[in-house]
């Protein structure tokens, strides 16, 4: 059984910034320290260059991508069943099923699923009547025959296969044996020397001697020279004839992979629910992308799969959240933005403070729980505060943000002026960048009534670099408008040094909305807003208020 502890994902918004990534990493670590349970940081989009620089500088591994939190088969309880190889005997397969108290057994080769055999298949193999060539037709290995009959190998190669001939019982005189026993047959004999000799004269493939009868040394040497296998068994002729079909390899009776109803570990529950409900199988094999078996899942477990558990950091707007959030269980929200439109099924821990950065709140929680923070975690949280507050230039910045960043900088042993310059330089580097990559570096969507709009932002300390970004982006906005299915797009090109932003607009009446929101002259060609650097506090609230009216 798959009894792994439920994992909770800590994740920021789409098109994540440094605060979103670093707060997720640090908060996941804090939750693990406090609870001892499984918390894992994830990201909902690509990491920008500024954040990459921060993670590399403080030797932190980037969170894995979690493109959505829709229910998948990997969220269901999966049975880990011990399988067997294709040449294992029916007898051993039956024993393995009983040992695991299962009804289905996977047939594997190097962990790759070849097929399955069920208890019903094995029962049928015992009950059905087969002709006397089935052992050869199934290419049965002599080692299987030895094992099934509790036998002892007298001579021959146990790894060879019985591939042609029939199974016969030599109960008659040697004269009559020559009439129905042919070369390459497998013959079941008693303790008569003449019968042993006759079988060797005929040059059969295998002799099974019942009731531990002794075969003379002379005949053993003859058999050895002719490559004949001799097996000694304690069972009598009746039981040997009854049991020998249990040595047939499972591959002969299994349902092959291409005839199975199988699924992959990352399949979405919604996509397969209807298929599963219409099938009569008890268990369905689950594979990974490489075709390796991960286990089996029952219909009941698929129908009752528990939701992914998530903690949202640095956002509480549905349009900014990871896809499929409606299928997940939100456990907590840690944020510093306005209250958005995310609804939860029940009460959750929701911490929202009017500070400049989520990282400030996260460090407060380290202190409240008495968890000592390492220089690495201090470094990324300090970087997040520098990024979100534009090195304390943003109007969203509070005294708490500044004191927190200063304290974290001491723990991380960094110079904040040097760190901020290096971060902003990495974040505004245009080398090799496409307009699309620039646009999605930091882009968020918002909704007012039936109206949906997006606001992007790039920060730079270089005026010439901002001009180049403007040229790259101005023709791309129309495509971004269509791709994101929003009514308007506003993009902020923020000069950190002059503490101003130029706004690029796209969409019907978008420019007019900005002119009204900031009370600008009607004939404004370029929209440059002095002392405006914060999307959260200075731009989005005014745009929303204007759109509402």
User: What are the beta bridge partners of residue 209?
Assistant: 189, 232
Q: Which two three-digit tokens encode residue 515?
A: 């002119």
pLDDT band at 5 (very low <50, low <70, confident <90, very high): low
Report d(CA 549, CA 546) in Å as an integer: 5
Contacts 24+ apart (CB under 8 A), 192-196: 193/219, 195/170
Q: Please compute the mean of the pLDDT values over residues 467-478 and round it to a whole number.
A: 93
Of 357, 464, 349, 466, give the one whose Cα is nearest residue 402: 357
User: Quick one: pLDDT at residue 220?
Assistant: 94
Supply the DSSP string of 424-472, one letter for each residue.
Answer: HHHHT--TT--HHHHHTTSEEEEEETTEEEEEEEEEES-HHHHHHHHHH
User: Where are the extended beta strands (E) located within 83-233?
Assistant: 104-109, 112-118, 140-141, 152-155, 161-162, 167-169, 186-189, 206-209, 229-232
Reply yes or no on whether the pLDDT at 548 is more than 60: yes
Of 263, 277, 268, 243, give the one whose Cα is nearest residue 90: 243
User: What are the beta bridge partners of residue 451?
Assistant: 448
pLDDT band at 508 (very low <50, low <70, confident <90, very high): very high
CA angle at 144 for the pair 138 and 149, rounded to the nearest 5°: 120
Reply yes or no on whether the pLDDT at 64 is more than 70: yes
pLDDT tens sequence across 509-537: 999 999 999 999 988 889 999 999 999 88
Report d(CA 455, CA 315) in Å as an integer: 14
Number of neighbouring beta carbons within 10 Å of residue 264: 16
DSSP H or E segment with residue 91? helix 90-100
DSSP code, position 104: E
Report d(CA 200, CA 195) in Å as an integer: 9
Report d(CA 94, CA 281) in Å as an integer: 19
Reply yes or no on whether the pLDDT at 450 is more than 60: yes
Distance of CA 488 to the CA centre of its chain: 36
Report d(CA 97, CA 170) in Å as an integer: 35
- % of the chain at pLDDT higher than 70: 99
The packing angle between helices 358-368 and 18-35, to 10°, is: 20
Q: Alpha carbon of 516 to those of 166, 391, 501, 506, 549: distances in Å?
A: 94, 30, 17, 15, 11
pLDDT tens sequence across 71-81: 998 888 888 88
User: Quick one: pLDDT at residue 129?
Assistant: 66
- Under 8 Å CB-to-CB from 210, ≥6 apart: which residues? 188, 189, 190, 191, 233, 235, 236, 237, 240
Of 94, 455, 457, give the one whose Cα is nearest residue 247: 94
Residue with tokens 């979690």: 66
User: Quick one: pLDDT at residue 532?
Assistant: 93
User: What are the beta bridge partners of residue 169?
Assistant: 188
Task: Find the DSSP H helices in 43-83.
Answer: 49-57
pLDDT tens sequence across 251-283: 999 989 888 888 999 999 888 888 888 876 778
Report d(CA 37, CA 51) in Å as an integer: 27
Report d(CA 423, CA 415) in Å as an integer: 12
Report d(CA 355, CA 399) in Å as an integer: 9
* The model's pTM: 0.71
237-246, 267-276, 327-336, 527-536: the lowest-pLDDT one: 267-276
Q: Which two three-digit tokens encode residue 160?
A: 């060879």
pLDDT tens sequence across 143-164: 999 999 999 999 999 999 999 9
The packing angle between helices 119-127 and 90-100, to 10°, is: 140
Reply yes or no on whether the pLDDT at 1 is more than 50: no
Q: Alpha carbon of 91 to those of 88, 216, 229, 277: distances in Å?
A: 8, 31, 21, 32
Q: What is the largest CA-CA distance in the chain?
A: 119
Domains of the chain by range and CATH? 8-71+307-427 (3.90.1640.10), 90-252 (3.40.1390.20), 435-548 (3.10.310.20)
């Amino acid at each position: 059984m798959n009894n792994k502890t439920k994992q909770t994902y800590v994740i920021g918004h789409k098109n994540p910034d440094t605060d979103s990534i670093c707060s997720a990493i640090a908060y996941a670590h804090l939750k693990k320290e406090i609870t001892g349970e499984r918390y894992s940081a994830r990201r909902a989009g690509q990491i920008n260059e500024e954040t990459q620089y921060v993670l590399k500088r403080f030797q932190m591994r980037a969170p894995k991508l979690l493109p959505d939190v829709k229910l998948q088969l990997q969220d269901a309880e999966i049975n880990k069943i011990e399988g067997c190889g294709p040449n294992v005997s029916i007898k051993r397969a039956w024993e393995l099923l009983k040992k695991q108290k299962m009804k289905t057994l996977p047939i594997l080769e190097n962990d790759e699923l070849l097929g399955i055999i069920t208890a019903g298949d094995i029962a049928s193999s015992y009950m059905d009547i087969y002709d006397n060539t089935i052992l050869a037709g199934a290419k049965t290995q002599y080692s299987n025959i030895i094992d099934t009959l509790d036998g002892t190998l007298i001579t021959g190669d146990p790894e060879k296969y019985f591939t042609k001939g029939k199974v016969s019982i030599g109960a008659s005189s040697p004269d009559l044996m020559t009439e129905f026993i042919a070369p390459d047959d497998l013959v079941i004999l008693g303790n008569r020397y003449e019968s042993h000799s006759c079988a060797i004269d005929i040059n059969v493939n295998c002799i099974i001697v019942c009731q531990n009868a002794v075969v003379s040394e002379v005949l053993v040497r003859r058999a050895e020279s002719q490559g004949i296998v001799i097996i000694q068994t304690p069972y009598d002729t009746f039981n040997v004839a009854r049991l020998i079909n249990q040595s047939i390899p499972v591959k002969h009776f299994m349902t092959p992979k291409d005839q199975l109803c199988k699924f992959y570990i990352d399949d979405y529950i919604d996509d397969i629910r209807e298929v599963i409900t219409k099938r009569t199988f008890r268990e369905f094999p689950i594979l990974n992308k490489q075709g390796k078996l991960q286990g089996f899942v029952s219909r009941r477990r698929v129908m009752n799969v528990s939701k992914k558990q998530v903690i949202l950091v640095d956002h509480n707007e549905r349009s900014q959240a990871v896809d499929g959030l409606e299928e997940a269980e939100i456990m907590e929200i840690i944020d510093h933005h306005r209250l958005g439109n995310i609804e939860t099924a029940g009460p959750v821990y929701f911490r929202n403070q009017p500070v400049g950065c989520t990282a400030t709140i996260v460090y407060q929680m380290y202190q409240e729980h008495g968890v000592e923070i390492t220089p690495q975690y201090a470094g990324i949280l300090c970087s997040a505060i520098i990024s979100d507050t534009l090195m304390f230039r943003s109007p969203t910045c509070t005294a708490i943000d500044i004191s927190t960043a200063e304290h974290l900088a001491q723990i991380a042993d960094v110079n904040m002026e040097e760190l901020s310059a290096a971060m902003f330089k990495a974040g505004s580097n245009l080398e090799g960048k496409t307009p699309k990559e620039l646009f999605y570096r930091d882009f968020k969507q918002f909704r007012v009534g039936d109206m949906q709009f997006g606001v992007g932002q790039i920060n730079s300390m270089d005026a010439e670099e901002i001009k180049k970004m403007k040229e790259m982006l101005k023709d791309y906005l129309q495509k971004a408008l269509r791709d994101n299915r929003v009514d308007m797009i506003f993009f902020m090109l923020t000069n950190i040094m002059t503490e101003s932003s130029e706004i690029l607009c796209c969409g019907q009446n978008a420019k007019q909305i900005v002119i009204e929101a900031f009370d600008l002259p009607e004939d404004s060609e370029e929209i440059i807003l002095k002392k405006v650097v914060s999307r959260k506090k200075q731009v989005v609230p005014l745009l929303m208020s204007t759109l509402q009216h």
